[in-house]
């Protein structure tokens, strides 16, 4: 029997521990199924990050957590941040721990699929005919740009007033490598890359556009278009279904992925995978720590559960299990179960824990059915081997619905 996959779980702050607990219920069933089928199970370790780490260790990313992350095959993180730590200087805030972890793991490509789930069309604030068919993938550059550029900080200007500086910097290499991820992803989808920038104003964006256009020559089968970020934001709400892969820099990607979450009905549904060249992947729901609802069993755990699906696919080579997990989520939604953020009046309301339990139970049911009759499953199994970055970038609902 081969050595177990090593997974580091970082619950973090706010609703983080709750959605983690709900996800763990699903993880338990999934890991057992993986072990029965492949002979390789999952060894879970827990660690501290963000405010929880500050409270315990005084820093947002303790050395011990970083070491554990480096020694793992994948890291699953829930959320960091909250008002309790807002007074701290920037480098000691919970968010600094997350940014340091992304940087240290070298996970420069952040894949954020946004899909309208069947039955949830009505939960979008947009008219159903506008949102119908929306299925996009934001490929966000994650370890460069304004989030990391130097110099940054505060100083005093010549007139004695306080000034603040952030620096936006990209090298051609940083742009090139994430562009390749986007084009490879588009090949597995609808073969359109929309590169988003602000090339009418920013020098960074002019370099971005130039490098992306050069990379596009390696992918003659993929169509490339350029959009300015302001116009991309407008199109994302007026014609969301026109997009396939949106490729963009760090800050624009942060903003547009929340926007995409709003378009498909709830940020609580969005998963993400952050990948580099080898090394562990980092998987996080796109939502934040939502301190306003923390501790109330109201948060939607599906963003994290779907992040777990991306993890099984991209880091543990189990695309078949990712597909089963997405189908389990789809089945629970099809039964009408909803957390508060996606509930229409009169819906079957489930708390965080119950939603996790329902997905876990559905997955268990699928496992038993699958093991009872291997015939229908054989085809799916053979599709399991694929290159990590590409497979993560598959349409979110590839095997669903
Ligand atoms: C996200 C979050 C983070 C980011 C915060 C928590 C630092 O908003 O993952 O989108 O800005 O990257
Ligand atoms: Mg964000």
pLDDT tens string, the chain, 401 residues long: the values are 579 999 999 999 999 999 999 999 999 999 999 999 999 999 999 999 999 999 999 999 999 999 999 999 999 999 999 999 999 999 999 999 999 999 999 999 999 999 999 999 999 999 999 999 999 999 999 999 999 999 999 999 899 999 999 999 999 999 999 999 999 999 999 999 999 999 999 999 999 999 999 999 999 999 999 999 999 999 999 999 999 999 999 999 999 999 999 999 999 999 999 999 999 999 999 999 999 999 999 999 999 999 999 999 999 999 999 999 999 999 999 999 999 999 998 899 999 999 999 999 999 999 999 888 655 454 444 444 444 444 444 333 333 22
For the chain, how big is the Rg over CA atoms in Å? 21
Q: For residue 143, how many C-alpha atoms fall within 13 Å in the half-sphere facing its CB? A: 19
Q: CB atoms < 10 A from the CB of 64, how many?
A: 12
Topology annotation, domain 121-264 = Isopropylmalate Dehydrogenase (3.40.718)
Query: Which ligand is located closest to the Cα atom of residue 95?
Result: 1
Beta strands (DSSP E) in 273-318 are 273-275, 281-283
Q: What is the pTM of this model?
A: 0.92
Ligand 1 center to residue 133 CA distance, Å? 27
Q: Distances in Å between the alpha carbon of 205 and those of 90, 152, 172, 192?
A: 26, 20, 11, 20
Segment holding 307, helix H or strand E: helix 302-314
Query: Nearest Cα to 333, choosing from 125, 48, 190, 119?
Result: 119
pLDDT at 386: 40
Pocket test for ligand 1, best of 254, 258, 268, 291 (most atoms within 8 A of CB): 254
CA-nearest residue, atom 11 of ligand 1: 254
Ligand 2 center to residue 334 CA distance, Å? 28
What distance in Å separates the CA atoms of residue 84 and residue 280, rounded to the nearest whole number? Answer: 30
Ligand 1 near 100 CB (within 6 A): no
Ligand 1 near 98 CB (within 6 A): yes
Pocket test for ligand 1, best of 50, 88, 98, 108 (most atoms within 8 A of CB): 98
Residues annotated catalytic, as ranges = 147, 198, 230, 254, 258
Provide the residue count of the chain: 401
Ligand 2 center to residue 156 CA distance, Å? 30
Ligand 1 atom index nearest CA of 251:
11
Neighbours of ion ligand 2 (CB under 5 A): 254
Ligand 1 atom index nearest CA of 142:
12
Ligand 1 center to residue 361 CA distance, Å? 31
Range list for CATH 3.40.718.10 in the chain: 1-109+274-401, 121-264
Q: Which residues contact 258 (CB under 8 A, 6 or more apart)?
A: 267, 286
Query: Which ligand is located closest to the Cα atom of residue 16?
Result: 1
- The two tokens of residue 291 are 């301190």
Residue ranges of the alpha helices (H) in 8-139? 16-38, 51-57, 63-70, 94-105, 128-131
pLDDT at 2: 78
pLDDT at 356: 98
Ligand 1 near 81 CB (within 6 A): yes
Cβ atoms of 267 and 302 within 8 Å: the answer is: no
- The two tokens of residue 261 are 């979450």
Provide long-range contacts, Cβ within 8 A and 24+ apart, for 294-299. 294/13, 294/14, 294/15, 294/18, 294/82, 295/18, 297/18, 297/351, 297/352, 297/353, 298/339, 298/340, 298/351, 298/352, 299/15, 299/18, 299/19, 299/268, 299/339, 299/352
Ligand 1 near 254 CB (within 6 A): yes
Pocket test for ligand 1, best of 95, 96, 283 (most atoms within 8 A of CB): 95
CA-nearest residue, atom 6 of ligand 1: 95
- By CB atoms closer than 10 A (0-12, 13-18, 19+), residue 333 is buried
Ligand 2 center to residue 286 CA distance, Å? 6
CA-nearest residue, atom 10 of ligand 1: 254
Topology annotation, domain 1-109+274-401 = Isopropylmalate Dehydrogenase (3.40.718)
Q: Which residues contact 359 (CB under 8 A, 6 or more apart)?
A: 25, 26, 301, 302, 305, 325, 328, 329, 332
In the chain, how long is the greatest CA-to-CA distance? 77
Query: Which ligand is located closest to the Cα atom of residue 284?
Result: 1
What distance in Å separates the CA atoms of residue 221 and residue 49, rounded to the nearest whole number? Answer: 42
Query: Nearest Cα to 232, choosing from 255, 215, 203?
Result: 255
pLDDT at 371: 87
């Amino acid at each position: 029997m081969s050595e177990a996959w090593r997974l580091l779980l970082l619950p973090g702050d706010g609703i983080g521990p709750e959605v983690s607990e709900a996800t763990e219920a699903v993880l338990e069933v999934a890991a057992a199924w993986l072990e029965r089928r492949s002979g390789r199970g999952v060894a879970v370790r827990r660690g501290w990050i963000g405010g929880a780490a500050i409270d315990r260790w005084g820093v947002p990313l303790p050395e011990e957590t970083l070491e554990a992350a480096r020694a793992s095959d994948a890291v699953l993180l829930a959320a960091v941040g909250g008002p309790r730590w807002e007074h701290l200087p920037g480098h000691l805030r919970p968010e600094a721990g997350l940014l340091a972890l992304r940087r240290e793991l070298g996970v420069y490509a952040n894949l954020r699929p946004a899909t309208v789930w069947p039955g949830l069309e009505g939960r979008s604030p947009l008219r159903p005919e506008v949102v119908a068919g929306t299925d996009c993938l934001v490929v966000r550059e994650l370890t460069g740009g304004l989030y990391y550029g130097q110099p940054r900080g505060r100083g005093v200007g010549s007139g004695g007033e306080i000034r603040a500086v952030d620096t936006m910097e990209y090298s051609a290499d940083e742009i090139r490598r994430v562009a390749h991820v986007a084009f490879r992803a588009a090949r597995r989808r609808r073969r359109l890359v929309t590169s988003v920038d602000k090339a009418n104003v920013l020098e960074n964006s002019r370099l971005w556009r130039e490098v992306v256009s050069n990379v596009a020559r390696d992918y003659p089968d993929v169509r490339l278009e350029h959009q300015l970020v302001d116009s991309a934001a407008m199109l994302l709400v007026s014609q969301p279904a026109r997009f396939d892969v949106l490729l963009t820099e760090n800050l624009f990607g942060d903003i547009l992925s929340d926007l995409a979450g709003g378009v498909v009905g709830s940020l609580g549904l969005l998963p993400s995978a952050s990948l580099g060249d080898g090394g562990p992947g980092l998987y996080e729901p796109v939502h934040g720590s939502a301190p306003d609802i923390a501790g109330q069993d109201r948060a939607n755990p599906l963003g994290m559960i779907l992040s777990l699906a991306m993890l099984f696919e991209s880091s543990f080579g189990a695309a078949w299990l990712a597909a089963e997990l997405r189908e389990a989520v789809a089945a629970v939604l099809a039964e009408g179960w909803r957390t508060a953020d996606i509930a229409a009046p009169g819906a079957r309301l489930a708390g965080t824990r119950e939603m996790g339990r329902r997905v876990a139970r559905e997955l268990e049911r699928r496992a038993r059915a699958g093991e009872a009759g291997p015939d229908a499953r054989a085809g799916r199994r053979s599709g399991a081997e694929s290159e990590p970055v590409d497979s993560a970038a598959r349409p979110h609902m590839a095997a669903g619905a």
